Amino acid sequence: MSSISSTIRKIKFHLVKLPLISITLFFVFYFIAAFLHPGSEKEIINYKSDKYSFTHNFLSELGTIKTNTDEENPNIIQKSNTPSMILFNGSLIIIGCTLILFYNHFKKIFKIIKDHPKAMFYANITRPFGLIAGILFSGIGLVPHDLHFETHVFFANGAFLILFVLSIFHSITVFFSKHINNFYSLGYLLFCVLLFSYLLIIFFGPQIGPGKIFNEQELMLQVIAQKSIVLTFTISILIQVMGFYKLLQSEEIQKVVKF
């Protein structure tokens, strides 16, 4: 009994408490990093600002070593961005590690409550995708885009691609569960649809980056789409956390503990 209780406590920490802590830290670090960011200049669209812009700056610009490193004009000043870089990249590494721990414990809850065989089957498939997604999100923080642009883009695009596959299997797992309401499955499935739309914008929309030609509207489309999908992902995770919290407080879990 004590062994089962200990396992359930660990599952509760990794599926409920840790995601809440990590998401809180991410947004706290994000807003502080945005406040400390020294601003940027984008000569191609005649844009210049002495502060971070929620509509003109990508999230990754908070994690650069210096500002304006994509600009080819030597007269554009590159300022140190160390405080923002440490905070934002640190928050991405935390999110990556949280995903790894979350999905490493994801399948255990379905096994403990002896859920539907299909739920346990798809939970096992979901796990490796969750681990890969966590590694890729950590990689985004470990390789700022002005340190090595191609590697940073590989991690960023790869993270969202794997996240799409992960979300599908996560949704299927919850759908087949006998103890989790299908509301949580449909909620994550909606996120899949929105994420698919974002992937189309990434790969088939206007391309933004060093040496690329784009206008202000195209830049804003990519920037706002990126922030929107991150916010949607956060909300989706919080909804899943709520579902696991309710499950861990349910009679099914109490029966397992008592047994």
pLDDT tens per residue across span 197-254: 999 999 999 988 888 899 999 999 999 999 999 999 999 999 999 999 988 887 666 6
Residue 95 tokens, joined:
């999110």
pLDDT tens per residue across span 72-93: 888 899 999 999 999 999 999 9
Report which residue type is found at 147: L
> Are 167 and 173 a contacting pair, CB within 8 Å?
no
Spell 224-257 as b/e; 16+ CB within 10 A means b.
Answer: ebbbebbeebeebbeebbebbeebbeeebbeebe
Q: What is the pLDDT of residue 65?
A: 95
The secondary element (H helix, E strand) that includes residue 52 is none
Q: What is the pLDDT of residue 252?
A: 64
